[in-house]
Amino acid sequence: MKKIIGLFLLASGSLFAQDQVMSPEKLWELGRVSLDAVSPDGKSYVYGVSRYDVAANKGNRNLYLMDIKSGKTTQLTSLEGSEYGAHFINDRIAFNHGGQLHSVKMDGSDLRPLTAVEGGIAGGKAYTMKDGSLRILFSKSFKTATTPAEMYPDLPKAEFRVMDDLMYRHWDSWDDYESMQLCFTDYKGEPASGYKNLMEGTSFDCPVPPFGGSESYTLSPDGKKVVFESKRLSGKEFAEQTNSDIYMIDLESGQETNLSEGMMGYDKNPQFSPNGKKIAWLSMATNGYESDVNDLIIMDLKSGKKSHVLKEMGAYDQYTFNSFAWEEDDEFVVGIPTMGSNQIFELEIERKGYELEKISSGDHNYNHFEIAKGGYVVERQDMNHATEIYFVKEGKEAQKLTSVNDAIYDNLGMSKIEKRMVKTSDGKEMLTWVIYPPDFDPNKKYPTLLYCQGGPQSQVSQFYSFRWNFQLMAAQGYIVVAPNRRGLPGFGREWNEKISKDWGGQSMRDYLAAIDDVSKEPFADENNLGCIGASYGGYSVYMLAGIHEGRFKSFISHCGLFDLESWYLSTEEMFFANYDLGGPFWDKANAETYTKFDPKDYVQNWDTPMLVIHGGKDFRVPENQGMEAFQAAKLRGVPARFLYFPNEGHWILSPQNGLVWHDQFFKWLDTYLK
């Protein structure tokens, strides 16, 4: 088996030097490509490339403009710091840089600030009005609570927090006593410093934390109405519910209307139709269920009538929407997870109903898309390739537009990716990806890894991760088995929902069915099987460690849930715990979850080496979960290591920490899988 070279030298830049296969250093050399917007005439698009400086331990994103037909590319920015949220305005391109909105000409010249808002802004979108002026929407942070320093001004060196309600911390951040609120202003030739806060007097947020962005708000084509998403709950209610709503404000009268009143789940990503007569958004029906079916709601603003697309199509049990965009007043483009990949479809509204037609195909993820002239500009990735941008047209082979990483990939051996259907313990067919080493020889035996997916409702698609990178694992001489076990989207609503309140049940049997199926092959070394995963995947590792009956020789769990009772009382988004576990452990109705499906109750069976990884700023799965698992293993006499990153959250984001992560990951596997 190929082995990663040991320690690396940051100063000299010598990192795991290895030719012809993917390595951790090469992952950080890759440019991370992402699509921003297509021009109004549909002939060009703007995109960003993020590159990382390992020695400086940071990254930088620059913007580029490409003509779709000719392929001519112009670098728009080379500033210190990143640019994001690029979009077209008149004959210029606007973007956020350094907390203010700026614009440049199409050739990258004549950089101008559009805003000069005190304290800076987040996001920002500029819209061209009929008179040529710009109306700008953006989010800005406002103080909405008393800070510790204000409570005791005579004790400036005191360090404390006072909590009277829940949501005092979220994902990786403590409550900062502020809210992010939606504002608008007008640009008329000079940087705009004044603005109107559309949420003044409240303590609510737009976008909805922690992951919302500028897709959470929009301006009507006539510039008179703003529609935005907000979750108008706080404290315990915010923690227990997902109920966000779509609000519309008339900018002249100030009148506000809740467009999604009575719709109790997540409502997000509002978009006006091109003629401004309708509004559409994505909606989940169930309050508290963050992985519910995403339906597309279309509302006629004059009549108030709402259409629920999937329900009216009779496809509510079959599909869920990841994303959408208006193409015409009665046509959409939609993103749908399906059978182990993300694909794009055209959706037409007809007199007799809806017609859904698949546009993309193949074992690729087609992610963010924009409508262009004669087709679509789309981000595409697969397990062997990081994101590049493609042009997709119905009935035609996808055309590659960017080649940011070709120079690296052209010199690498690619992994064979196999789509394998595995029979589960209850007789179902389960799509399982098998990833082989680049130099795979069927006459040899290879150590084999079972990959356990997080989420838990997150499809094992053709994703390209910069941490859980299957191409990298295979390049080190491992076969990777990645099953789409119970509880994942893309295989119908029933399959997706089977995980809730059954965390340690059928999904564990699905995992074992997948690894048992592949390990029967002569090239899989059944005496050297490993099990790896993060989040719910980390929970799965802990759970399987107690029930695997000797199958595995090594485990690696990152940010996994170990003790469900202590996790319930230390996590933050209670709606997730309440829906997926059934509720609190003191409710006897949930007894099975906290006994039969709690990894800590199987520690007496642990006998296999385990690497535990955790971040100190992971508030979704707090650090005590990793510490408890590590301590349990050591007290049991099981070989174990605890890899701790005090300043990382649920994910490892900094370049140098990422390299340490991979070094420890592969050293552990190399030690126990021989």
Residues with a known catalytic role: 535, 618, 650
User: Are the C-beta atoms of residues 271 and 324 closer than 8 Å to each other?
Assistant: yes
Instruction: Quote the CA–CA distance of 560 and 534 in Å, as a whole number.
Output: 6
Tokens for 36? 């921003």
Which DSSP string corresponds to 584-623? -TTSGGGHHHHHTT-GGGGGGG--S-EEEEEETT--SS-T
> Which residues in 78-177 belong to E strands, given as ranges?
83-89, 92-97, 100-105, 112-113, 122-128, 134-143, 169-170, 173-174
> Which residues in 273-351 belong to E strands, given as ranges?
278-283, 295-300, 306-308, 323-328, 331-338, 341-350
Helix (H) or strand (E) holding 453: none
Residues 235, 537, 428, 312: is their CA dihedral positive or negative? positive
Strand order in the sheet with 134-143: 122-128, 134-143, 178-187, 196-197
3-state helix, strand, coil in the chain (%, to 5): 20, 35, 45
Neighbours of 637 (CB within 10 A): 9
CA distances for 295 relative to 68, 267, 321, angstroms: 32, 10, 6
Per-residue burial over 357-396, b if 16 or more Cβ lie within 10 Å, else e, is: eebbeeebbbbbbbbbeebbbbbbbbbbbbbbbbbbeeee
Closest CA to 421 of 321, 491, 522: 491
Closest CA to 118 of 189, 192, 198, 213: 192
Backbone angles phi, psi at 412, to 5 degrees: -115, 145
Instruction: Quote the CA–CA distance of 498 and 485 in Å, as a whole number.
Output: 10
End-to-end alpha-carbon separation of the chain, Å? 8
Q: 496: alpha, beta or left, given left = phi > 0 and alpha = psi -120 to 50? A: alpha
Tokens for 285? 């029906």
Which of helix, strand or coil describes residue 484?
coil
Which DSSP string corresponds to 246-271? EEEEETTT--EEETTTT--S-EEEEE
Instruction: Quote the CA–CA distance of 151 and 548 in Å, as a whole number.
Output: 54
Tokens for 398? 């996808």
The DSSP symbol for 408 reads: H
Burial of residue 149 (CB within 10 Å: 0-12, 13-18, 19+) is exposed
CA of residue 514 relative to chain centroid, distance:
25
CA of residue 453 relative to chain centroid, distance:
13
DSSP count for the chain of H helices, then E strands: 14, 38
Which DSSP string corresponds to 622-651? -THHHHHHHHHHHHTT--EEEEEETT--SS
